[in-house]
Structure 1
Amino acid sequence: MWRLLPLLASLAWLPMPASGFDHSRWSGLLAEHLVVSQDGRVSQVDYRGMAGDIGKLDAYLSLLAGVPQGEFSGWPEDVRLAFLINAYNAATVRLILTQFPDLDSIRDLGWLFRSPWKKEFVSLFGKQYSLDDIEHGMIRGRFSDPRIHFAVNCASVGCPMLREEAYRGADLDRQLEEQTRRFLSDRSRNRLSGPGTLALSSIFKWYREDFANGWRGHESLESFLSDYRGALDLTPSQADALRDDRMAIEFLDYDWRLNDAAAATRLKD
């Protein structure tokens, strides 16, 4: 038996299987405290309920923080991307809880010369990062898939919905595709405003170049969107006009109100 001890000790230090990082804590919190509406296109967070489970949220964030850089780097690309999206979304919820209920927007957490997205409070790989570091450096800076913009959630009404489950490497392509179609089919954010004009979320203005980076052969935002004509409710001829740059594009104002389920209920009442 004693001969096995060195082997067992070495096995204890082996990295977790690349597909095996457990995001179930985050999925559980979302299942408990997310309100999904409008046929799955919109979600609001029950921040009051989430605050009651803040210990569980912190435990999940601690698990993320405990992953060594070397182990993370050895994971497949889809597993790494899912990890980072979940980290961003969970950290954003945690940031909101630092001031909830005394805020109406995530932008209330900033001040004159400092935005909330630049606050270094997310522990990953032995360092402290900001939400901007994660989104623009780790995600946009390393992954070319523009559908990430429909997965990261900035705690705002105008943002693509926070998904009702954690992202997982094995399911990531399907999840991102579903998020894309959900967002594009939401007429409060993307719609025809006339026979020859497409009104889009400001996300497409801010990150237009990400949709023209050659991903799946798309060299323009118009080309990317034309592949989703069904979600945008475009006719074949309208999709052709969009692809050929014969359709005007305008951008809608962004709604920065907090995606709070209680606030949404009060508005309905």
Structure 2
Amino acid sequence: MANKLTTGKILYYFFIAALMMISTLVQAFDHQHPSFSEVLSEVVKLSPNKKQTRVDYGQLYKKPEQLNHYLAQLSSVKQSEYQQWSSDEQLSFLINAYNGFTLQLIVHNYAKFQTGKAKSIKDLGSFFSNPWKQSFFTLLGEKRNLDNIEHQMIRQWFARPRIHAALVCAAVSCPPLRAEAFVANKLNQQLNDQMLQFLSDDQRNTIKISENTVYLSSIFKWYREDFEKGQQGFNRLQDLIKEYQADLANYPQQLTWLQKQDYSIGFLDYDWRLNDISTF
């Protein structure tokens, strides 16, 4: 009897220890994304009006090790581990992955920008595939491309239209790349800040009272349907404008006009040049 009890206890403690090890592994990923924040804080530069950012790709090209190490950490996360995270942890992970792998794509091809063979991320594609469909990294156990993250994962799995102010595809007309990683415990605030900063930039979104029109970034044309599903209170683009009208308006007359007028919505041309510091 004593031997049986001893054996049973051994098995019990082994089982508990195994569970603790699994739990430790699940919690091993640092959801504060400190390595990525360090990279971003070094290479993302803010414009004098504090509404736009650019990237010092030259510096990142010379010292890509930390970015590569961080992205390797992302690639090591298994689907089973990801599934145990909170929704905000999952979304922060995917936004950072999109922005991080976009930076890596530019760095891998930076020589083309230096020689003038490429001026835009669009120039990194081929006759058969655009750059967003190039599967050059692994995420959650599968070979992926940037479109996978944005369209098959983020837009499908999360009802968060503000993500369109957070995903940055390395173009001048993109929303500003944040100088810190997205993190779960601040995610809602960060997404709101991104949309506020993006809409307040009158080179990206602007009001033309003389034309009775609010001109928005083409991003809102391409993803208009995401703002018409009732997600987070947005049923139409006018709801977005109403939510951020105090930020979209650059002076009191515009704000008064927004509140009283029926206006049209137009869309601005997109500047696809690389969002490098040279384009400030």
- Per the TM superposition, whether the score is higher than 0.5 is yes
**Is 1:189 the equivalent of 2:189?**
no
Alignment check: 8 A CA contact 1:29 1:57 kept? yes
For structure 1, the 5+ residue unaligned runs are: none
SS at match of 2:37: helix
Distance 2:195 2:259 in 1: 17
**Is 1:144 the equivalent of 2:159?**
yes
Pick from 38, 41, 59: which aligns with 1:28? Answer: 38
- Aligned runs of 1:22-101 on 2, under 5 Å? 22-101=32-111
Distance 1:239 1:143 in 2: 31
SS at match of 2:269: coil
Pick from 16, 22, 26: which aligns with 1:13? Answer: 22
Shift in Å, 1:211 = 0.9
Aligned residues with identical type, % of pairs: 40
Quick one: structure 1 residues 22 and 147, their matched pair in 2 at CA, closer, same or farther if it must change by over 3 Å? same
Give the corresponding residue for 1:203: 219
Quick one: structure 1 residues 81 and 240, their matched pair in 2 at CA, closer, same or farther if it must change by over 3 Å? farther
Shift in Å, 1:123 = 0.9
Distance 1:149 1:38 in 2: 24
Residues 46-55 or 56-65, more deviating: 46-55
SS at match of 2:122: helix
Aligned length: 259
Pick from 202, 227, 234: which aligns with 2:243? Answer: 227
**Is 1:239 the equivalent of 2:254?**
no
SS at match of 1:160: coil
Give the TM-score, by structure 2 length. Answer: 0.87
Give the corresponding residue for 1:117: 132
Alignment check: 8 A CA contact 1:18 1:79 kept? no
Alignment check: 8 A CA contact 1:85 1:151 kept? yes
Give the corresponding residue for 1:253: 269
Shift in Å, 1:264 = 2.5
Alignment check: 8 A CA contact 2:32 2:183 kept? no
Pick from 169, 184, 192: which aligns with 1:154? Answer: 169
Distance 1:194 1:140 in 2: 33
Shift in Å, 1:240 = 4.9
Give the TM-score, by structure 1 length. Answer: 0.90
Distance 2:57 2:29 in 1: 30
Give the corresponding residue for 2:179: 164
Shift in Å, 1:57 = 1.1
Distance 1:237 1:22 in 2: 42
SS at match of 1:123: strand
Shift in Å, 1:122 = 2.2
Alignment check: 8 A CA contact 2:51 2:198 kept? yes
Paired residue type of 1:88: Y
Paired residue type of 1:235: L
Alignment check: 8 A CA contact 1:117 1:131 kept? yes
Larger radius of gyration: 2
Quick one: structure 1 residues 39 and 5, their matched pair in 2 at CA, closer, same or farther if it must change by over 3 Å? farther
- Aligned runs of 1:173-184 on 2, under 5 Å? 173-184=188-199
Distance 1:216 1:258 in 2: 31
Paired residue type of 1:21: H
SS at match of 2:191: helix
Distance 2:21 2:50 in 1: 42
Shift in Å, 1:12 = 2.3
**Is 1:135 the equivalent of 2:150?**
yes
Distance 1:13 1:39 in 2: 48
